[in-house]
Amino acid sequence: MRKKICDKFNIIKNVSFKTLSSIKTGGRARYLAFPNNEEDLVTLITYLKSHHKKYYVLGNGTNTLAPDGMYRGVIIKLTELNTVIVNENKIYAEAGASLNRVIGLALANGLAGLEEGSGIPASIGGGIIMNCGAYNFEMSKVLNKVRLLRDGRVIELDKSECGFGYRTSTFKEDDVILGGEFILKKEDEEKLRERQKAVLEKRKNFPCLPSLGSVFKRKEGLIVSKMLDEMGFKGFCCGGAKVSEQHAGIIVNYQDAKSKDVLKLINIIKNRVKNEKNIILEEEIKILSK
């Protein structure tokens, strides 16, 4: 059912987070909005801010743990902002485009630099904010400019102004990523697809149960998943949430888990690691509050 909450927007009401999040936990979102284009997104956020309404911009939902119960605000999905433009060795992609789709277009045009990110289930917007990556790839390596909404204005920032680090950036909490420009290098398509194939082969060992991917940020000189494995965490459960038996750095929903089960498991791991190893783990995932 669609309910109009202002003159310009029809917004879906009372949507289950299990349909929005890759780990399939959480309660419900009071409203879910799908802006049709950048102009509509700017208008919607301006409206919500002026009426002091809570909102959260959600990418593919592969890195966000939703709250149980009702989120009494507007979840904004950028699925419709998915334009991708290839211009010689440059690609501009809107925030709602999937990273894997952009990688596919890059390969089809013989453009190298993104292929090592193959298989990461991120949107461009979410990937930019968290500087997503895997193995030797980080999005910031090939990113040139970021287009975003800040304080009611659409602006562009060079990569050097974004403060990228390991799974982090210096974007402000209210910044909304609109898109990014990537500068790539010309290369033989067949060679690129071979590299992509090798990356996807590595990812075959990732858990197939619903998850948010790696829960904790890596620590310098430490492979967190290896440490958790050695501490016996594989298969450890809280309610319906479990540390994956394939990868100790990933928590899976194996039996109708609630978000509180995942949070409890995260806290048990963090506390035990702090007490036994004197190491403070930091979450890589975003935990959304009510």
Both tokens assigned to 263: 């949070």
**Residues 98 and 67 placed together within one structural domain of the fold:** no
Mean of the per-residue pLDDT values of the chain: 93
CB within 8 A of 232, min separation 6: which ones? none
Which residue has tokens 């004197």? 278
The secondary structure of the chain in percent helix, strand, coil, rounded to multiples of 5, reads: 30, 35, 40
Strand partners, 32: 12, 75
**Residues 112 and 45 placed together within one structural domain of the fold:** no
Tell me the pLDDT tens digit for each residue of 116-144: 999 999 999 999 999 999 888 999 999 99
Confirm whether 167 is a catalytic residue: yes
Q: Would the pLDDT of 52 be above 50?
A: yes
The CATH number of the domain holding residue 251 is 3.90.78.10
pLDDT band at 2 (very low <50, low <70, confident <90, very high): very low
**Cα–Cα distance measured from residue 113 to residue 86, given in angstroms and rounded to the nearest whole number:** 14
Catalytic choice (116, 138, 181, 284):
284
User: Assign residue 50 a region: left if phi > 0, alpha if psi is -120 to 50, beta otherwise?
Assistant: alpha
Let me know the angle formed at the C-alpha of 172 by 170 and 176, rounded to the nearest 5 degrees: 110
The CATH number of the domain holding residue 135 is 3.30.465.10
**Residues 34 and 54 placed together within one structural domain of the fold:** yes
Domain end residue (candidates: 203, 221, 238): 203
Number of domains in the chain: 3
Confirm whether 284 is a catalytic residue: yes
**Residues 41 and 94 placed together within one structural domain of the fold:** no
**Cα–Cα distance measured from residue 114 to residue 84, given in angstroms and rounded to the nearest whole number:** 14
Catalytic choice (28, 115, 167, 169):
167
Q: Give yes or no for a contact between 41 and 149, defined as CB atoms under 8 angstroms apart.
A: yes
Q: Would the pLDDT of 272 be above 90?
A: yes
**Residues 36 and 99 placed together within one structural domain of the fold:** no
The CATH number of the domain holding residue 16 is 3.30.43.10
**Cα–Cα distance measured from residue 257 to residue 289, given in angstroms and rounded to the nearest whole number:** 17
Catalytic choice (214, 225, 244, 259):
214
Domain end residue (candidates: 77, 110, 137): 77
**Residues 89 and 70 placed together within one structural domain of the fold:** no
**Residues 121 and 159 placed together within one structural domain of the fold:** yes
**Residues 88 and 175 placed together within one structural domain of the fold:** yes
**Residues 157 and 253 placed together within one structural domain of the fold:** no
Q: Would the pLDDT of 9 be above 70?
A: no
State whether residue 74 is helix, strand or coil: strand
DSSP string, 135-201: TTEEGGGTEEEEEEEETTEEEEEEGGGS--BTTB----TT-EEEEEEEE-EE--HHHHHHHHHHHHH
Tell me the pLDDT tens digit for each residue of 69-120: 999 999 999 999 999 999 999 999 999 999 999 999 999 999 999 999 999 9
**Residues 73 and 91 placed together within one structural domain of the fold:** no
CB within 8 A of 277, min separation 6: which ones? 227
Q: Give yes or no for a contact between 246 and 206, defined as CB atoms under 8 angstroms apart.
A: yes
Model confidence, pTM: 0.90
pLDDT band at 219 (very low <50, low <70, confident <90, very high): confident
Taking Cα atoms as reference points, which of 202, 218, 211 lies closest to residue 250? 211
Domain end residue (candidates: 203, 235, 266): 203
Residues in the chain: 290
**Domain limits for position 272:** 207-287
**Residues 136 and 219 placed together within one structural domain of the fold:** no
**Residues 6 and 57 placed together within one structural domain of the fold:** yes
State whether residue 216 is helix, strand or coil: strand
